[in-house]
Amino acid sequence: MSKQPMPCEVEELSTLFLFENLTEEQLARLCREGRVERFESGPVYQEGDPATCFFVLLEGTLVLTRRVGEDDVEINRTSHRGTYAGALQAYVRGFEDQGYRSSLRVTEPSRFFVLPTETFASIMRDWFPMAVHLLEGLFFGTQTTQQTINQRERLLALGSLSAGLTHELNNPAAAAVRATSALRERMAGLRHKLAAIAVGPYARHTLALVYLQELTAERVSKTTPLSPLEAADREDALADWLDDHGIAGGWDLAATFVQAGLDTDWLDEVAATVDEQSLDGTIRWLEYTVETELLLNEIEDSTNRISHLVGAAKQYSHLDRAPFEVTDVHDLLDSTLVMLAGKIGSGIQVVKEYDRTLPKIPAYPGELNQVWTNLIDNAVAAMSGAGRLTVRTSLDGDHLLVEFGDTGPGIDPEIRGRIFDPFFTTKPVGEGTGLGLDISWRIVVNKHHGSLQVESVPGDTRFQVRLPLRVSPGRN
């Protein structure tokens, strides 16, 4: 940074719109406690450096930039006299410890009136005490309001997700309870059958029956699903076999055995193990074993489903993970889809088109999940319960692209430019806050230095999130 001190002239300051209504005494104080400096082309200060000065352009051209990922993005370029930059909020208590929120450079030799932060803050408080109180209230009030809004939006999303998760957990939990109750009845019946076998004509086949029971249980645990046509054909074959061997109620028995993946070869093996007198009782005893194993399978499936849902909830909330870390977006997308399954409903087909070769990226996982939630929620609402939701990932230059497509009616071109505005919503009163897309935009753009865009025609609306493959934490 090349700078040269220069004399400060009261007359020149009085021509600036910032100072045009000040008294001679006030202008003199500015010149006495401030200074005029001339900067050659190049940087004046860098984003993140301690905010030590308030700058007012007297002559030349300034450029303000902000760091986004690896790039400096220009946010203002002007030659307008009186343009100010630097420690703009030095009047806020404790601002002295903060840094510049942008970078300032000049493209030609330029002159600035410069006030040290402490002097600027003191002058503001001395000359405009009421204005300072109002500005401080506005500054902190805006921060508090934004935090409250963000918290409210997260609570609304959490409430919706909690309802969906409760519904999703209730189904496997209820199934496990029903299966456990039925299992208790089957175990009681199995104990009675065991007592009959121990004292009846089956005693001489005890070892063979135990072997059959273990073999049957093993087969049930390895059963594979059949198509409806295959299941019907097998039921017919088993029912015919049971009728041919004089087993009453063969059709009901056949349905249970088919569900367990058993066939006529298994029945032949049973018939070869015991005599004809014992066959009926043996098959009915083995039916209890089959039903018991099927109920155990159902309980196992239900508890695994519960475990999967709890794991998805943990992944979604990231309770055990750092706020900023290298993460796989596909894990985040999958956990969000699981959490929203109840809200998505059966009328919407979910299509995943993931590029699994994509690298992990540095990100704030919990906040990205909030973005996915908002975009999926909007897509589901747009389709009114029927359509196709496509979640796609791909590489787009030095960015990772996540795209959410829906087959809804599309976004009216007249409002497309407003959908990211705070409080703008097309949902009925009471059904939307109008903050979901605004918060999503700020998370993607401000927090991750990416982009959030939308392309929409009737039947094909796509929200596109682009996230840099490399980004430094703390660049907000």
Q: What is the pLDDT of residues 227-268, one digit of tens each?
A: 888 888 888 998 999 998 888 888 888 888 888 888 888 888
Quote the tokens at residue 167: 């519904």
pLDDT tens readout for residues 134-145: 555 555 555 555
Q: Can you name the residues that pair with 4 across neighbouring β-strands?
A: 38
Could you give the CA distance from residue 354 to residue 344 in angstroms, rounded to a whole number? 19
pLDDT surpasses 80 at 406:
yes
The dihedral through the CA atoms of 133, 134, 139, 140 has a sign that is: positive
pLDDT surpasses 70 at 108:
yes
Q: What are phi and psi of 5, to 5 degrees?
A: -70, 145
Could you give the CA distance from residue 465 to residue 72 in angstroms, rounded to a whole number? 20
- pLDDT for residue 313: 60
Domain segments of the chain: what residues? 3-127, 162-310, 322-468
How does DSSP classify residue 97?
G
Q: Report yes or no on whether pTM surpasses 0.85.
A: no
How large is the average pLDDT for residues 262-277? 85
Mean pLDDT of all residues belonging to the chain: 78
Q: Which helix (H) or strand (E) holds 76?
A: strand 71-78
- pLDDT for residue 467: 94
Contact criterion met (CB below 8 Å) for 89 and 121: no
CATH of domain 322-468: 3.30.565.10
Q: Which residues contact 262 (CB under 8 A, 6 or more apart)?
A: 216, 219, 220, 238, 290
Q: Does domain 3-127 have CATH number 2.70.240.10?
A: no
- pLDDT for residue 62: 93
Q: Which long-range contacts (CB under 8 A, 24 or more apart) does 25-34 make?
A: 26/127, 29/123, 30/113, 30/115, 30/123, 33/115, 33/116, 33/119, 33/123, 34/8, 34/113, 34/114, 34/115, 34/116, 34/119
Residue 473's pLDDT band (cuts 50, 70, 90): very low
CA atoms within 13 Å, Cβ hemisphere of 20: 6
Fold: same for 3-127 and 322-468: no
Quote the tokens at residue 459: 């039947």
How large is the average pLDDT for residues 296-322? 63
More confident residue, 465 or 342: 465
